[in-house]
Amino acid sequence: MSFEVSSMALFALAGLTIVTAALLYGWQGWLALKMREAEMESGAFVPSPARDVGDAPAAARIQLADLKERVRRLEAIASGVDL
């Protein structure tokens, strides 16, 4: 009788450990996703060169124009001009 109870307790503990490990793995993945989204929103995200396709100088000019536009908007906000 005691062997059955102790083996059931061990199986329950093993199951709880597996479920806990899976939940922690999922939590870490969710946190990584949210961190990646925050990086993309703040502009700190730098895409890997393997995924960067297209003409690099053209992409750099577009990025530079975008940054200039952001700076222009921020300066307008700082001076109190409504765009």
Between CA 82 and CA 12 the distance in angstroms is 64
Q: How many domains does the chain have?
A: 1
Is 69 a domain residue? yes
Structural contact between residues 59 and 52, judged by C-beta atoms closer than 8 angstroms: yes
pLDDT in tens, 36-71: 888 888 876 666 555 555 566 777 888 888 899 999
Residue 49 lies in a domain: no
pLDDT band at 83 (very low <50, low <70, confident <90, very high): low
Structure tokens, 77: 């906000």
Calpha distance 68→60 (Å, rounded): 12
Residue 17 in any domain: the answer is: yes
Measured CA to CA, the distance from residue 11 to residue 24 in angstroms comes to: 20
Give this prediction's pTM.
0.44
- Strand, helix or coil for residue 48: coil
Domain that holds residue 35: 1-44+56-79
Q: What is the pLDDT of residues 23-42, one digit of tens each?
A: 999 999 999 999 888 888 88
Q: What is the pLDDT of residue 2?
A: 64
